[in-house]
Amino acid sequence: AQSVTQPDIHITVSEGASLELRCNYSYGATPYLFWYVQSPGQGLQLLLKYFSGDTLVQGIKGFEAEFKRSQSSFNLRKPSVHWSDAAEYFCAVGARRDDKIIFGKGTRLHILP
């Protein structure tokens, strides 16, 4: 069964600073990997996804993530955060036919002015 670990529950960065959110996964086959963002009181929005091919994936809002098979990681990065990036971020693994999408526990991002 697949699983996802997001080691950081909370992260605080200053506006304009760079950001990296960590995600480690466990999955017995080629993983499909996702990052979602949830603003307070809102639903979930897909930031980016990795299915195959280039291991550096570009997403919306200036985010990117790099798939590293040897480290079982899919870390999310942004070179310069904005106050509007304050939200909760979820990494997820899955799905292929007859399988399921499993989410990590999330990382809440706080932005200092």
Q: Which residues bind another protein (CB under 8 A)?
A: 6, 9, 32, 34, 42-44, 46, 49, 51-52, 90, 92, 95-106
Nearer to another protein, 54 or 98 (CB): 98
CB of 46 to another protein, least distance (A): 5
| Pick 32 or 63: Cβ nearer another protein | 32
CA 65 to chain centre: 7
CB of 106 to another protein, least distance (A): 5
List of residues 6+ apart from 14 with CB closer than 8 A: 111, 112, 113
The separation between the first and the last C-alpha atoms of the chain, rounded to the nearest angstrom, is 41
Q: What are the distances in angstroms from CA 33 to CA 49, 95, 105, 112?
A: 6, 8, 15, 29
State in angstroms the smallest separation of the CB of 56 from another protein: 18
